[in-house]
A = this chain, B = another copy of it.
Protein backbone atom coordinates (compact mmCIF):
# COMPACT_ATOMS: atom_id res chain seq x y z
CA UNK A 1 0.00 0.00 0.00
CA UNK A 2 1.16 3.56 -0.70
CA UNK A 3 1.34 6.04 2.16
CA UNK A 4 -1.72 7.75 0.70
CA UNK A 5 -3.79 4.55 0.68
CA UNK A 6 -2.52 3.75 4.13
CA UNK A 7 -3.50 7.21 5.33
CA UNK A 8 -7.08 7.02 4.04
CA UNK A 9 -7.74 3.40 5.05
CA UNK A 10 -10.98 2.72 6.91
CA UNK A 11 -12.28 -0.30 8.75
CA UNK A 12 -15.98 -1.06 8.82
CA UNK A 13 -17.18 -1.47 12.41
CA UNK A 14 -20.90 -1.88 12.00
CA UNK A 15 -23.70 -1.85 9.48
CA UNK A 16 -27.41 -1.48 10.13
CA UNK A 17 -29.62 -1.27 7.06
CA UNK A 18 -28.69 1.89 5.16
CA UNK A 19 -26.35 3.06 7.92
CA UNK A 20 -22.76 2.01 8.54
CA UNK A 21 -19.88 3.08 10.70
CA UNK A 22 -16.16 3.07 9.95
CA UNK A 23 -12.99 3.58 11.94
CA UNK A 24 -10.14 5.66 10.57
CA UNK A 25 -6.83 6.91 11.86
CA UNK A 26 -5.93 10.43 10.76
CA UNK A 27 -2.25 10.46 9.88
CA UNK A 28 -0.07 13.22 11.36
CA UNK A 29 1.81 13.26 8.06
CA UNK A 30 -1.13 15.11 6.48
CA UNK A 31 -1.08 17.87 9.07
CA UNK A 32 -0.67 21.56 8.29
CA UNK A 33 -0.13 23.71 11.34
CA UNK A 34 -2.63 22.75 14.03
CA UNK A 35 -5.06 20.90 11.78
CA UNK A 36 -5.26 18.03 9.34
CA UNK A 37 -5.50 18.92 5.64
CA UNK A 38 -9.09 19.25 4.37
CA UNK A 39 -8.51 17.38 1.11
CA UNK A 40 -7.08 14.45 3.01
CA UNK A 41 -10.17 14.40 5.26
CA UNK A 42 -12.34 14.41 2.15
CA UNK A 43 -10.44 11.40 0.79
CA UNK A 44 -10.82 9.51 4.10
CA UNK A 45 -14.53 10.19 4.08
CA UNK A 46 -14.68 9.33 0.38
CA UNK A 47 -12.91 6.04 1.06
CA UNK A 48 -15.62 5.06 3.56
CA UNK A 49 -18.39 6.03 1.15
CA UNK A 50 -16.79 3.90 -1.58
CA UNK A 51 -17.08 0.87 0.70
CA UNK A 52 -20.84 1.38 0.69
CA UNK A 53 -21.39 2.26 -2.96
CA UNK A 54 -18.98 -0.05 -4.75
CA UNK A 55 -21.11 -3.20 -4.32
CA UNK A 56 -23.91 -1.32 -6.14
CA UNK A 57 -21.62 -0.65 -9.11
CA UNK A 58 -20.89 2.97 -8.16
CA UNK A 59 -17.26 2.97 -7.04
CA UNK A 60 -16.30 6.56 -7.96
CA UNK A 61 -17.03 9.94 -6.44
CA UNK A 62 -18.87 12.03 -9.05
CA UNK A 63 -19.62 14.98 -6.78
CA UNK A 64 -18.87 15.44 -3.09
CA UNK A 65 -19.95 18.48 -1.04
CA UNK A 66 -18.34 18.82 2.37
CA UNK A 67 -19.00 21.33 5.13
CA UNK A 68 -16.11 21.74 7.57
CA UNK A 69 -17.30 22.08 11.14
CA UNK A 70 -14.20 22.08 13.35
CA UNK A 71 -10.49 21.40 12.99
CA UNK A 72 -9.41 17.75 12.92
CA UNK A 73 -6.34 16.44 14.67
CA UNK A 74 -4.18 13.40 13.99
CA UNK A 75 -5.51 10.26 15.65
CA UNK A 76 -8.64 8.14 15.72
CA UNK A 77 -11.75 9.20 13.84
CA UNK A 78 -15.10 7.69 12.99
CA UNK A 79 -17.03 7.98 9.74
CA UNK A 80 -20.77 7.37 9.86
CA UNK A 81 -22.56 6.87 6.56
CA UNK A 82 -26.23 6.89 5.63
CA UNK A 83 -27.48 6.06 2.16
CA UNK A 84 -29.98 8.76 1.18
CA UNK A 85 -30.82 7.26 -2.20
CA UNK A 86 -29.57 4.33 -4.20
CA UNK A 87 -30.48 4.61 -7.87
CA UNK A 88 -29.61 2.80 -11.05
CA UNK A 89 -26.76 5.08 -12.10
CA UNK A 90 -25.89 6.87 -8.84
CA UNK A 91 -25.86 6.41 -5.07
CA UNK A 92 -26.07 9.42 -2.75
CA UNK A 93 -24.70 9.10 0.78
CA UNK A 94 -24.59 11.45 3.76
CA UNK A 95 -21.33 10.90 5.66
CA UNK A 96 -19.92 12.56 8.75
CA UNK A 97 -16.40 12.29 10.08
CA UNK A 98 -16.21 12.78 13.84
CA UNK A 99 -13.57 12.69 16.52
CA UNK A 100 -13.80 12.83 20.25
CA UNK A 101 -15.26 16.26 20.82
CA UNK A 102 -17.66 16.30 17.91
CA UNK A 103 -18.21 16.23 14.16
CA UNK A 104 -15.33 17.59 12.04
CA UNK A 105 -16.72 17.39 8.52
CA UNK A 106 -20.10 16.42 7.13
CA UNK A 107 -20.66 15.69 3.46
CA UNK A 108 -23.09 14.62 0.79
CA UNK A 109 -21.50 12.34 -1.77
CA UNK A 110 -22.96 11.15 -5.05
CA UNK A 111 -21.06 8.17 -6.45
CA UNK A 112 -21.27 6.63 -9.90
CA UNK A 113 -19.22 4.56 -12.34
CA UNK A 114 -16.95 7.06 -14.09
CA UNK A 115 -15.81 4.31 -16.42
CA UNK A 116 -19.35 3.92 -17.71
CA UNK A 117 -19.95 7.53 -18.72
CA UNK A 118 -20.14 8.60 -22.38
CA UNK A 119 -16.76 9.49 -23.87
CA UNK A 120 -17.71 12.81 -25.44
CA UNK A 121 -15.36 15.71 -24.59
CA UNK A 122 -16.44 19.22 -25.62
CA UNK A 123 -14.42 21.08 -22.99
CA UNK A 124 -13.76 24.71 -23.93
CA UNK A 125 -11.56 25.41 -20.89
CA UNK A 126 -7.85 25.43 -21.69
CA UNK A 127 -5.22 23.52 -19.76
CA UNK A 128 -2.84 26.01 -18.11
CA UNK A 129 0.48 26.17 -19.93
CA UNK A 130 3.21 25.67 -17.34
CA UNK A 131 6.97 25.89 -17.75
CA UNK A 132 8.78 22.53 -17.89
CA UNK A 133 8.99 20.76 -14.55
CA UNK A 134 12.73 21.37 -14.38
CA UNK A 135 12.00 25.10 -14.13
CA UNK A 136 9.37 24.83 -11.38
CA UNK A 137 10.60 24.86 -7.77
CA UNK A 138 9.37 21.97 -5.61
CA UNK A 139 7.52 22.75 -2.36
CA UNK A 140 9.47 19.87 -0.81
CA UNK A 141 12.48 22.24 -0.93
CA UNK A 142 10.79 24.52 1.62
CA UNK A 143 12.89 25.34 4.70
CA UNK A 144 13.05 22.51 7.25
CA UNK A 145 11.57 24.72 9.97
CA UNK A 146 8.54 25.38 7.81
CA UNK A 147 8.15 21.72 6.89
CA UNK A 148 8.05 20.80 10.57
CA UNK A 149 4.82 22.78 10.82
CA UNK A 150 3.52 21.33 7.54
CA UNK A 151 4.52 17.68 7.15
CA UNK A 152 1.81 17.59 4.44
CA UNK A 153 4.43 18.95 2.02
CA UNK A 154 6.22 15.61 2.09
CA UNK A 155 3.14 13.66 0.96
CA UNK A 156 3.32 14.67 -2.71
CA UNK A 157 5.46 16.32 -5.35
CA UNK A 158 4.31 19.83 -6.15
CA UNK A 159 6.39 21.84 -8.62
CA UNK A 160 5.10 25.41 -8.57
CA UNK A 161 4.92 27.65 -11.63
CA UNK A 162 7.63 30.24 -10.91
CA UNK A 163 5.21 32.99 -12.05
CA UNK A 164 3.13 32.41 -8.92
CA UNK A 165 5.63 31.49 -6.27
CA UNK A 166 6.69 35.02 -5.28
CA UNK A 167 4.74 34.75 -2.01
CA UNK A 168 7.37 32.26 -0.80
CA UNK A 169 9.91 35.10 -0.78
CA UNK A 170 7.58 37.87 0.35
CA UNK A 171 6.62 39.03 -3.14
CA UNK A 172 3.09 37.78 -3.84
CA UNK A 173 1.91 38.51 -7.39
CA UNK A 174 -1.49 39.78 -6.25
CA UNK A 175 -3.25 37.95 -9.06
CA UNK A 176 -4.85 35.33 -6.79
CA UNK A 177 -3.57 32.23 -8.56
CA UNK A 178 -1.26 29.33 -7.71
CA UNK A 179 -0.59 26.49 -10.11
CA UNK A 180 1.86 23.68 -10.51
CA UNK A 181 2.69 20.11 -11.45
CA UNK A 182 1.33 17.56 -8.97
CA UNK A 183 1.68 13.86 -8.27
CA UNK A 184 1.60 11.46 -5.35
CA UNK A 185 4.85 9.78 -4.38
CA UNK A 186 4.11 6.13 -4.79
CA UNK A 187 1.14 5.77 -7.05
CA UNK A 188 -0.90 7.44 -9.76
CA UNK A 189 -3.90 9.62 -9.13
CA UNK A 190 -7.36 8.10 -9.06
CA UNK A 191 -10.76 9.62 -8.24
CA UNK A 192 -10.21 9.43 -4.46
CA UNK A 193 -6.77 10.98 -4.79
CA UNK A 194 -8.36 13.82 -6.78
CA UNK A 195 -10.46 14.63 -3.69
CA UNK A 196 -7.13 15.17 -1.95
CA UNK A 197 -5.49 17.02 -4.83
CA UNK A 198 -8.15 19.74 -5.00
CA UNK A 199 -7.18 21.00 -1.54
CA UNK A 200 -3.48 20.09 -1.34
CA UNK A 201 -1.94 23.38 -2.50
CA UNK A 202 -1.24 26.37 -0.27
CA UNK A 203 -4.23 28.70 0.10
CA UNK A 204 -4.49 30.95 -2.94
CA UNK A 205 -4.63 33.91 -0.54
CA UNK A 206 -0.84 33.50 -0.14
CA UNK A 207 -0.64 34.97 -3.63
CA UNK A 208 -2.69 37.97 -2.46
CA UNK A 209 -0.25 38.80 0.31
CA UNK A 210 -2.38 37.18 3.00
CA UNK A 211 -0.29 34.46 4.60
CA UNK A 212 -1.97 32.54 7.35
CA UNK A 213 -4.58 29.91 7.89
CA UNK A 214 -7.63 29.98 5.62
CA UNK A 215 -10.09 27.52 7.13
CA UNK A 216 -12.45 25.88 4.65
CA UNK A 217 -16.15 26.42 5.31
CA UNK A 218 -17.35 24.26 2.43
CA UNK A 219 -15.75 22.44 -0.49
CA UNK A 220 -17.50 20.79 -3.42
CA UNK A 221 -15.53 18.64 -5.84
CA UNK A 222 -16.70 17.32 -9.20
CA UNK A 223 -14.72 14.33 -10.44
CA UNK A 224 -15.32 14.20 -14.17
CA UNK A 225 -13.16 11.30 -15.31
CA UNK A 226 -10.63 8.77 -14.06
CA UNK A 227 -7.28 10.53 -14.50
CA UNK A 228 -4.61 9.24 -16.86
CA UNK A 229 -1.37 8.18 -15.11
CA UNK A 230 1.45 10.65 -14.64
CA UNK A 231 1.87 14.26 -13.61
CA UNK A 232 -1.27 16.37 -13.27
CA UNK A 233 -1.57 20.14 -13.48
CA UNK A 234 -3.39 21.72 -10.54
CA UNK A 235 -4.56 25.32 -10.58
CA UNK A 236 -6.11 27.33 -7.73
CA UNK A 237 -7.62 30.77 -8.21
CA UNK A 238 -9.91 33.25 -6.52
CA UNK A 239 -11.93 36.22 -7.78
CA UNK A 240 -14.12 37.21 -4.85
CA UNK A 241 -12.36 38.05 -1.59
CA UNK A 242 -14.95 40.00 0.39
CA UNK A 243 -16.84 39.97 3.66
CA UNK A 244 -14.10 37.99 5.39
CA UNK A 245 -14.46 35.06 2.97
CA UNK A 246 -13.15 34.02 -0.42
CA UNK A 247 -13.95 31.36 -2.96
CA UNK A 248 -11.14 29.13 -4.19
CA UNK A 249 -11.64 27.38 -7.50
CA UNK A 250 -9.47 24.42 -8.36
CA UNK A 251 -8.93 22.60 -11.62
CA UNK A 252 -7.02 19.36 -12.03
CA UNK A 253 -5.88 18.44 -15.54
CA UNK A 254 -4.48 14.96 -16.11
CA UNK A 255 -1.42 14.04 -18.17
CA UNK A 256 -3.64 13.47 -21.20
CA UNK A 257 -4.84 17.08 -21.04
CA UNK A 258 -8.32 16.34 -19.72
CA UNK A 259 -10.02 18.46 -17.06
CA UNK A 260 -10.67 15.60 -14.63
CA UNK A 261 -11.70 17.51 -11.52
CA UNK A 262 -13.12 20.89 -10.63
CA UNK A 263 -13.73 22.12 -7.14
CA UNK A 264 -14.81 25.29 -5.45
CA UNK A 265 -14.48 26.02 -1.78
CA UNK A 266 -15.66 28.83 0.43
CA UNK A 267 -13.01 29.69 3.00
CA UNK A 268 -12.53 32.29 5.69
CA UNK A 269 -9.92 34.87 4.71
CA UNK A 270 -6.80 34.96 6.86
CA UNK A 271 -6.68 37.89 9.24
CA UNK A 272 -4.41 40.59 7.85
CA UNK A 273 -1.18 40.45 9.80
CA UNK A 274 -0.23 43.51 11.82
CA UNK A 275 3.34 43.51 10.54
The residues of A with any CB-CB pair to B shorter than 8 Å are: 62-63, 65, 67, 69-70, 84-85, 87, 90, 92, 94, 96, 102-103, 106-108, 110, 114, 117-125, 175-176, 208, 217-218, 220, 222, 224-225, 238-245, 247, 258-259, 262, 264, 266, 269
> A218 to B61, alpha carbons, bound, how many Å?
12
Q: Are B108 and A107 in contact (CB under 8 A)?
A: yes
Q: Are B119 and A92 in contact (CB under 8 A)?
A: no
Query: Ordered nearest first, which 8 A-B pairs have the shortest CB separation?
Result: A65-B65, A125-B239, A117-B243, A118-B244, A121-B242, A63-B218, A122-B241, A220-B220
| Nearest B residue to A264, CB-CB | B264
Partner of A239, one of B84, B124, B176: B124
Partner of A124, one of B87, B114, B176: B176
> A94 to B95, alpha carbons, bound, how many Å?
11
Output the least CB separation between A52 and chain B (Å): 15
6 contacts between A and B (CB under 8 A): A67-B110, A118-B243, A124-B176, A224-B240, A225-B243, A262-B264
Q: Are B224 and A245 in contact (CB under 8 A)?
A: yes
With A69-B84, A94-B94, A217-B63 as known contacts, state yes or no: A259 contacts B243, CB within 8 Å. no
Q: Are A266 and B63 in contact (CB under 8 A)?
A: yes
Q: Are A120 and B87 in contact (CB under 8 A)?
A: no
Partner of A240, one of B65, B125, B238: B125
